[in-house]
Amino acid sequence: MRNLALGGGLLLLLAESRSEGKSMFAGVPTMRESSPKQYMQLGGRVLLVLMFMTLLHFDMNFFSILQNIVGTALIILVAIGFKTKLAALTLVIWLFGINIYFNAFWTVPAYKPMHDFLKYDFFQTMSVIGGLLLVVALGPGGVSMDEKKKEW
């Protein structure tokens, strides 16, 4: 799941680097077309939220239930593209805090194998945070509820 989430961040970066075709008539509105860039942004958003599926725990303590509810709500908001920038920014803060708490590789001596595992997870999670920051900076793309609200 984490590797797919990392791929989602790369897909968002690839979608942003693609140049859009120029219109023949400058300033004249055209019919809304679906470009591959919009679907790449949708795919990137969906792949990014897969990271949070690895964080769901089915314990019966208060913190675990709170984490599951908040995480699931924010996952759904980013996936469907509703209040995407705010939800992605909240996910960035939430994921950063969880990453610091659970993947504290600096507390484990370097000669233990767990140090390497935690370090790998820490930096992979930081890569997903970078992908979410791309969503915050660039928005959800054309295939989202935020974009549909503009048409209404």
| pLDDT tens-digit readout, 21-73 | 555 555 554 445 567 777 777 888 888 777 777 777 778 888 888 888 888 88
- Specify the pTM: 0.75
Residue 45's CB is within 10 A of a number of other CB atoms, namely 26
Least confident of 56-65, 71-80, 92-101, 107-116: 56-65
Environment class of residue 13 by beta-carbon count within 10 Å: exposed (0-12), middle (13-18) or buried (19+)?
A: middle
pLDDT of residue 105: 94
Distance CA 12, CA 45 (A): 8
